[in-house]
Amino acid sequence: MQNLKRIANALATFGPVGYFPFAGVIAALLSIPIVMAVDSLVWGFPAIYPFIYVALFFLCAAVLIFALHPGEEEPLPRSAMMINRVLGLLFAFSGLAINIKLLVIGCLFFLLLRHFIPRLLLLYAGINFSSWPALVHILFIDIAAGMTVNFIFRFIFWLVAMPR
C-alpha cells in the first residue's frame, strides 16, 4: 500500500515538477506531448473516442484518491497536484485538430481560466468550493476550464468557417 501511495504521489505531482515555482506552467508545457499523443489516438481510432476520456478521468481520479488519502505520510498539498491540469488540457483540446500555436494559446487560456472560474462561480452563482471534497473540487475546476477552452476554440473555428 505504501508503494502505491508513493507511485500515486509521483504521478500526481509529475515527479518533482509539482514543487517547482511556476509548476502549473511547467506541467502545462510538459503535457503537450501527452495531449498530442492522445489527440493522434483519438483521430486514429474515432470509435473509442469517449472511452479514452472516461478511462483518463478514472485514472486521474484514482491517482488523486491515493495521493490525497492521509496515511502514514501527510497528504499532498493541492498546489502540488499536476495530473489534474493534464486532464484539463486533454479536455481543452478534445476533438480539435491542433498545432503548436493552438497548443500554446490554449495552454495560456486554460491556465487563466483555471484561476478565474472559481472566482466567477462564487461571484455570480454563489457556488463556494471550499465546502466541496478536495477530489471533486480539484477535478471540477480543471475539467470546467478545459471544456471552456474547447468551447471557445470551437466557437472561433465556427465563426471563421461560417459561410458568408
The pLDDT profile of the chain, 164 residues, written as one tens digit per residue, is 677 777 888 888 888 888 888 888 888 888 888 888 888 887 788 788 788 888 888 888 888 887 777 766 666 777 788 888 888 888 898 888 778 888 889 988 998 998 898 888 888 888 887 778 878 888 888 889 999 999 999 999 999 887 77
- Does 100 reside within a domain? no
- Does 122 reside within a domain? yes
DSSP state for residue 129 in the 8-state scheme: G
Give the H/E segment covering residue 115: helix 100-120
Q: Is 97 left (phi over 0), alpha (psi -120 to 50) or beta?
A: beta
- Does 99 reside within a domain? no
* Residue numbers of the domain that contains 136: 2-93+110-161
- Does 63 reside within a domain? yes
- Threshold 0.95, pTM exceeds: no
- Does 127 reside within a domain? yes
- Does 104 reside within a domain? no
Name the domain count of the chain: 1
